[in-house]
Amino acid sequence: MNGTNAGETERNVAYALIFGCIAVLGLPLNVASLWVLLRHHSLKSPSIVFMVNLAISDLLLVTSLPMRVYFYATGTWPLNSTACTVISVLFRDNIRSSTFFITFISVDRLLAVVYPLRSRCLRTSSNAWKAVTLVWLFVLVMNIPEYMYFPRQPDNGTVPRCFSFKPIQNSTGGAIAYYQPVLVVSMLSVNIVCTAMVLWTLCTHLSVSARVKNKVNVMLIFVLNLVMFTVCFLPMSISLPLVSTPELKPMVCLATVNCCLDPLLYYFSFDGFWKKKEDVDAAQELPVRGPPQ
């Protein structure tokens, strides 16, 4: 028993170090990315609207990580069970909102490359803001039933169970736990279709390919989207309703890494990231002068 407790303590210290490193790296990266997006780019571009909201989602997750570090490092929870639930829900909200925003970025690039003229009336900042508003409303609405069924920290002086998860068989939440895997798989499917369509267009339509600058960067965006889904989001989401906390903790760490990868993988993949607002529209609307459709 002592050996088991010692092993669990070592693992918790490792989790505290991992979450601490993610917080230390993710906070400045996302703050800097958000500042650059707002300072050097115009919110008239739908891509910028989606990326700004993606940065906000990541910042909400990063700000909750210090309490995870404290819990795993000390084995104690200084706040009440409500605070623990809120922090846990913020983590799940980040996955849900990020899947939407990343998918919106893929769809926006698909429309810009494959349907540059037809999509001009669709790819507007107004429509982008409507989309992100619906996403945040959806995330908030889904928090209500999840908060009701989330396991509570005991208040009887025993070892706290904050950030614990229960398999679906033992949870009163029923089918609620299944909607996140369905969401992630659905959004992943959309990203796969977008990637295939853009790759096919660039390879078979020479007129489009000739007008798209930095085709490697364009495809890199789609490839990195797929990597984010398959490495960070998918393992955690599929396992969430099926396994208990000990088996899930490594996947939680892996999923949390997305808040550090988003600024590096998506924001800096675009040409003109550091350019001023008057220069960025042309960089973002890369294939607007495409062939007649």
**What is the SS3 assignment for the chain?**
CHHHHHHHHHHHHHHHHHHHHHHHHHHHHHHHHHHHHHHHCCCCCHHHHHHHHHHHHHHHHHHHHHHHHHHHHHCCCCCCHHHHHHHHHHHHHHHHHHHHHHHHHHHHHHHHHHCCCCCCCCCCHHHHHHHHHHHHHHHHHHHHHHHHHCCCCCCCCCCCCCCCCCCHHHCCCHHHHHHHHHHHHHHHHHHHHHHHHHHHHHHHCHHHHHHCCCHHHHHHHHHHHHHHHHHHHHHHHHHCCCCCHHHHHHHHHHHHCHHHHHHHHCHHHCCCCCCCHHHHHHHHCCCCCCCCC
d(CA 188, CA 100): 10
* Interaxial angle between packed helices 215-227 and 81-114, expressed in degrees from 0 to 180 and rounded to the nearest 10: 150
Where do the domains of the chain lie, and which CATH numbers do they carry? 2-284 (1.20.1070.10)
Residue 226: predicted pLDDT: 92
Quick one: which of 59, 50, 56 has its CA closest to 104?
Answer: 50
CA distance 95 to 60: 11
pLDDT tens string, the chain, 293 residues long: the values are: 455 566 677 888 899 999 999 999 999 999 988 888 888 777 888 888 999 999 999 999 999 999 999 988 888 888 877 788 888 888 888 988 999 999 999 999 889 888 888 888 888 999 999 999 999 999 998 888 777 766 555 444 444 567 765 554 444 445 666 788 889 999 999 999 999 998 888 888 665 555 666 677 778 888 888 989 999 999 888 877 776 556 778 888 899 999 988 887 665 555 554 454 444 444 444 444 444 34
CB 120: neighbour CB atoms within 10 A? 13
pLDDT at 5: 64
- Please state the pTM of the whole predicted model: 0.83
Rounded CA separation 189/283 (Å) = 27
Report the half-sphere exposure of 103 (CA within 13 A, side-chain side).
22
Which pLDDT does position 163 carry in this prediction? Answer: 74
